[in-house]
Each structure stands twice: as C-alpha cells, then as structure tokens.
Amino acid sequence: MLSSSLFGLTANRFALNFIFVVINVETIKLRRLNIMKRILLFFVTLLAVSTISVYNVYSQKGLKVFISVDMEGVAGVVHSDQVSVGGNDYQMARRWMTEEANAAILGALDAGAAEIVVNDSHGSMRNILAGEINPAARLITGSPKPLAMMQGIDETFDAVIFVGYHARAGTANATLDHTYSSGSISAFKVNGVEIGESEMNALIAGHYGVPVVMVAGDRAVCSQVRNSLGQNIVTTEVKESIGRYAARTMVPAEAQKLIRANTAAALMKLKDFKPYKSTVPYQFEITFLYSHQAEAAMAVPGIERVSARTVRYSKENFIEGFKLFRALVTLASS
C-alpha cells in the first residue's frame, strides 16, 4: 500500500510538473506572438505614415511658387542704416535678406516645388546677392518693374510667400513701418479699408487667382495679415518690435530655420488657402504726407481731391489701379 501511494504521489507530481511546463511553453508562445504582433503593428504603422508623407510630398510635385522678399522685416534689421545702400550695415543686412530668401526656397523645395521665382522687393530692388541665391530658383532683380514687388506673378503660380515684410505706415511698435513710400504716403485704402504692402501685394496675387500662404516679418505685420488675409495664413514672427528702431530679434540663423519649416508647412496644406480679393469696382484712396503731393496728383485726369492731402479714384481692374497708384507716388516724390 505504501509503495502504491508513493507511486501515485510521484505520478501526480509528474503530471503537475508536465502541466506547468506546458503552461509555461504556451505562455512563452503567447508572449512571443504578442511581441510579433506588436512588431508587425509597428511596421504597418510606420509604412502607413511613410506612405502618407510620400503622398503628401509627391502630391505637391509640380508646384510653382512665387517669393517676394522685402528687407525691413528681416531678422536683425532695425534701422534705416541697414536697409539703405549707403548705410554702414547695409552689406550685412542684405546678406541676411539673401539667406532668408534661400530659407524660403529650401522650404518650397521641401514641399516638392518644381519652379520657384524670387523677386527682390526692396528699394532699388538690387539687394539680394545673385551669386549666393539658391540656383533652384530664378531671381528677378532691378527696377523699375511694372508690378514692382510682385513682378513675375501670373495665373500659372500655385502660391505666394512674403519674406522680410513690415507693417503699414502708422503702426505702433513696428520696425520701420511704412506703406510703399516712407517719403510720400501716410495711408492707403482700397474700398474704404486701410491696407499695407502685404495686402496690396496679396490683391495683386489675388487678381491672378493665387493665394498668399506664408508671411515672415515682425510681430506687427504678422498680426495685421492674420486680420486681413485670414487667421489660417501661416506667419513667421522673426522679431518683436520695441518702437520703430528697436526690436527683440531672433538670431538670423534660427529665423532662417523657422522660415524654411513654415514655408514647407504652408505649401503642404495649400488647399486651405484662397486668393485674397476685394469687390469691384476698386476705389483707391491715397493720403499723402504733404498737401503739395496731393496737388501734384491732381495733374492726372480722373483723380478726385478729397481733402488737403487725400485723393481718390476708381478702377474696374486692380492691376490698372495699382499702376496708377505707383505713378501718383512717383509724381508725388518728384
């Protein structure tokens, strides 16, 4: 009886041990299976994300991008000495301007742009260093040009980028604020709304059905374009102005990285943007700095004098109205 009991006990232990071994083996198998499932899920997710990213880039292939580059809104620029050809710091500032243009070009290339046009849009419009611009783009330089800051734009473009832009004349805490001509224009309105160069140039782009998708400059201009062009526009704030001749600015190299990233991001969501337009007919109103400038404008047929310094006129075509505006500014500056 004793040996029989011992045999039974041993058999039971053997059976239990066998069950434990089987359970452990199955547990290991399940763990391995779960690990394999997790690995598989990881790679499937990675493949999906990569596919979406590749699709997003290749869906942008063939993009034609127009980049207008001004100077007052460039990181590090705070004084007229930096934006004037004879200024001691001009050569340094024009290099920063060139580098910000290159940053926008790289951002456009990151988004899959096939054709890029850069228009020098400051002063003499001979500021960007042609020998240092990214060869993936074509540079429009020199003046006069019929469309000035927007020379080269037409209906074949998909998007417009503004770099180095500034706030309109009379804006508080805005670096070197002015509207087109600091020596002659106090205010400029279209259909009763005061606008600056950003909106003016956006209307030119809008005439051709092209949206502005990204604006880089100081905090003031970024705020203005969000209010005028729409809250979804991508803005790149490279400095916070402290009055007209001082600012808390990003280091140029860091500003350039941000411009590149935001340019690419804006172009990747191109469908979110619409061309900026106003109602026809367009009523233009110019308030000059001095009364004699308004008097000079009255030499042009079709101009109505509203007050000592303000004139107005109406046009069905925005481009025609813009060109007349330029002619009046030139006349006022002579």
Catalytic residues: 178
DSSP 79-101: SHHHHSTTSTTHHHHHHHHHHHH
b/e code 48-71 from CB counts within 10 Å (16+ = b): eeeeeeeeeeeebeebbbbbbbbb
Instruction: Annotate 244-294 with three-state secondary structure.
Output: CCCEEECCHHHHHHHHHHHHHHHHHCHHHCCCCCCCCCEEEEEEECCHHHH
Helix (H, G, I), strand (E, B) or coil at 63: strand
CB 282, CB 314: distance < 8 Å: yes
Joined together, the tokens standing for residue 297 give 């404008």
Joined together, the tokens standing for residue 116 give 């890029």
Joined together, the tokens standing for residue 283 give 């009523």
Contacts of 290 (CB under 8 A, 6+ apart): 184, 309
